Amino acid sequence: MEKESGNYVSDIHDAAYEAAYLARRLDSGTLVSAVGRPAESLNGKWNFAADWYDSCKRAKWFLERRVDEAGRPMPLDWDWEAWEPMSVPSSWNLQKPELFYFEGSGLYTRTFRYLPKIPGERAFLRFEGAQYRTSVFLNGEHLGTHDGGSTPFSVEATGAIREDNRIIVVVEAGRRPGRVPPDNTDWFNYGGLYRDILLLRMPPRFIKDWFLRLVPDGSFSKLAIDVELSGEGLGAAKGGEARLRIPELGLDESIPISGGRGSSVISLDVAACLELWAPGKPRLYGIELSLLGPGGEGIDALRDRVGFREIRISGSDILVNGKSVFLKGISVHEDHLRLGKATDEATIRAAIAHLKELHGDYLRLAHYPHDGRFARIADEEGVLLWEEVPVYWAVDFSSPATYADAENQLAELVIRDRNRASVAIWSVGNENADSDARLSFMSRLAAKARELDGTRPVSAACLVDHERLAIADRLAEALDIIGINEYYGWYDPDFSKLPRILDNSKPSKPVIICEFGAGARLGHRGSVDEHFTEDMQARLYEEQVAVIGACPYIKGMSPWILYDFRCPRRLNRYQERYNRKGLVDADRVSKKKAFATLAAFYASRAEPAAEGDA
3-state class of 2 per DSSP?
coil
Q: How far is the CB of 332 from ligand GCB (least distance, A)?
A: 12
- Residue 473 engages ligand GCB in binding (rule: CB under 6 A): no
Helix 497-504 and helix 534-549, axial crossing angle in degrees, nearest 10: 20
Q: How far is the CB of 514 from ligand GCB (least distance, A)?
A: 8
Q: How far is the CB of 566 from ligand GCB (least distance, A)?
A: 11
Q: Of the two residues 184 and 219, which places its CB atom closer to ligand GCB in the complex?
A: 184
Q: How far is the CB of 481 from ligand GCB (least distance, A)?
A: 17
Q: Which of 47, 544, 579, 597 binds ligand GCB (CB under 6 A)?
A: 579
Q: Any bridge partners for residue 392, and if so which?
A: 430
User: Is residue 166 classed exposed, middle or buried when 0-12, 13-18 and 19+ CB atoms within 10 A define those classes?
Assistant: middle
Q: How far is the CB of 465 from ligand GCB (least distance, A)?
A: 15
Q: Of the two residues 48 and 516, which places its CB atom closer to ligand GCB in the complex?
A: 516
User: What is the rounded distance in angstroms from the CA atom of residue 282 to the CA atom of residue 382?
Assistant: 4
Where is 57: in which H helix or E strand? helix 55-58
User: What is the rounded distance in angstroms from the CA atom of residue 593 to the CA atom of residue 227?
Assistant: 49
Closest CA to 192 of 331, 268, 72, 99: 99
User: Which residue type is seen at 200?
Assistant: L
User: What is the rounded distance in angstroms from the CA atom of residue 478 to the CA atom of residue 469?
Assistant: 21
Q: How far is the CB of 466 from ligand GCB (least distance, A)?
A: 13
Q: Report CA-CA distances (Å) from 134 to 69, 144, 295, 316, 519.
A: 30, 8, 42, 42, 35
Q: Of the two residues 194 and 560, which places its CB atom closer to ligand GCB in the complex?
A: 560
For the four alpha carbons of 388, 390, 396 and 401, in that order, the dihedral sign comes to: negative
- Residue 186 engages ligand GCB in binding (rule: CB under 6 A): yes
User: What is the rounded distance in angstroms from the CA atom of residue 539 to the CA atom of residue 530?
Assistant: 11
Q: How far is the CB of 565 from ligand GCB (least distance, A)?
A: 8
Q: How far is the CB of 82 from ligand GCB (least distance, A)?
A: 41
Q: Of the two residues 110 and 364, which places its CB atom closer to ligand GCB in the complex?
A: 364
Q: How far is the CB of 579 from ligand GCB (least distance, A)?
A: 5
Q: Which distant-in-sequence residues (6+ apart) come within 8 Å of 604 by Cβ?
A: none
Q: How far is the CB of 430 from ligand GCB (least distance, A)?
A: 5
Q: Of the two residues 372 and 429, which places its CB atom closer to ligand GCB in the complex?
A: 429
Could you tell me if 123 and 138 are in contact, meaning their C-beta atoms sit under 8 angstroms apart?
no
Q: Which of 241, 431, 480, 564 binds ligand GCB (CB under 6 A)?
A: 431
Restricting to residues 337-376, name those near ligand GCB by CB under 6 A: 367
Could you tell me if 200 and 37 are in contact, meaning their C-beta atoms sit under 8 angstroms apart?
yes
Q: What is the DSSP string of 112-163?
A: EE----STT-EEEEEES-EESEEEEEETTEEEEEEE-SSS-EEEE-TTT--S
- Residue 581 engages ligand GCB in binding (rule: CB under 6 A): yes
Helix 436-452 and helix 400-417, axial crossing angle in degrees, nearest 10: 30
Q: How far is the CB of 310 from ligand GCB (least distance, A)?
A: 29
Q: Of the two residues 234 and 540, which places its CB atom closer to ligand GCB in the complex?
A: 540
- Residue 209 engages ligand GCB in binding (rule: CB under 6 A): no
Q: Of the two residues 110 and 370, which places its CB atom closer to ligand GCB in the complex?
A: 370
Could you tell me if 116 and 163 are in contact, meaning their C-beta atoms sit under 8 angstroms apart?
no
- Residue 316 engages ligand GCB in binding (rule: CB under 6 A): no
Could you say which DSSP state residue 37 is in? S
Could you tell me if 253 and 265 are in contact, meaning their C-beta atoms sit under 8 angstroms apart?
no
Q: Of the two residues 150 and 485, which places its CB atom closer to ligand GCB in the complex?
A: 485
Q: What is the dihedral of CA 395, 396, 401, 402, to 10 degrees?
A: 0
Is the link from the previous residue into 352 a cis peptide, with omega within 30 of 0? no
Q: How far is the CB of 539 from ligand GCB (least distance, A)?
A: 17
Q: Of the two residues 108 and 560, which places its CB atom closer to ligand GCB in the complex?
A: 560
Q: How far is the CB of 356 from ligand GCB (least distance, A)?
A: 24
Restricting to residues 19-58, name those near ligand GCB by CB under 6 A: none
Q: Which distant-in-sequence residues (6+ apart) come within 8 Å of 296 by Cβ?
A: 239
HSE-CB at 157 with a 13 A cutoff on CA atoms is 26
Q: Of the two residues 186 and 453, which places its CB atom closer to ligand GCB in the complex?
A: 186
Residue number, nearest CB to ligand GCB: 186
Q: Of the two residues 420 and 581, which places its CB atom closer to ligand GCB in the complex?
A: 581
Q: Of the two residues 154 and 558, which places its CB atom closer to ligand GCB in the complex?
A: 558
Binding residues for ligand GCB, total number by CB under 6 A: 9
Restricting to residues 528-567, name those near ligand GCB by CB under 6 A: 560
Q: Which distant-in-sequence residues (6+ apart) come within 8 Å of 590 by Cβ?
A: 522, 584
Q: Which of 515, 534, 535, 585 binds ligand GCB (CB under 6 A)?
A: 515
Q: Which of 47, 90, 343, 485 binds ligand GCB (CB under 6 A)?
A: 485
Q: Of the two residues 368 and 601, which places its CB atom closer to ligand GCB in the complex?
A: 368
Q: How far is the CB of 432 from ligand GCB (least distance, A)?
A: 10
Could you tell me if 440 and 478 are in contact, meaning their C-beta atoms sit under 8 angstroms apart?
no
Q: Of the two residues 200 and 584, which places its CB atom closer to ligand GCB in the complex?
A: 584
Restricting to residues 266-295, name those near ligand GCB by CB under 6 A: none
3-state SS, 341-392, equals: CCCCHHHHHHHHHHHHHCCCCEEEECCCCCCHHHHHHHHHHCCEEEEECCCE
User: Which residue type is seen at 90?
Assistant: S
Q: Of the two residues 268 and 391, which places its CB atom closer to ligand GCB in the complex?
A: 391
User: What is the rounded distance in angstroms from the CA atom of residue 347 to the CA atom of residue 338?
Assistant: 11
Q: How far is the CB of 509 from ligand GCB (least distance, A)?
A: 20
Kind of pairing between the strands at 133-138 and 105-113: unpaired
The C-alpha R_g of the chain, in whole angstroms, comes to 25
Residues that bind ligand GCB (CB under 6 A): 186, 367, 430-431, 485, 515, 560, 579, 581
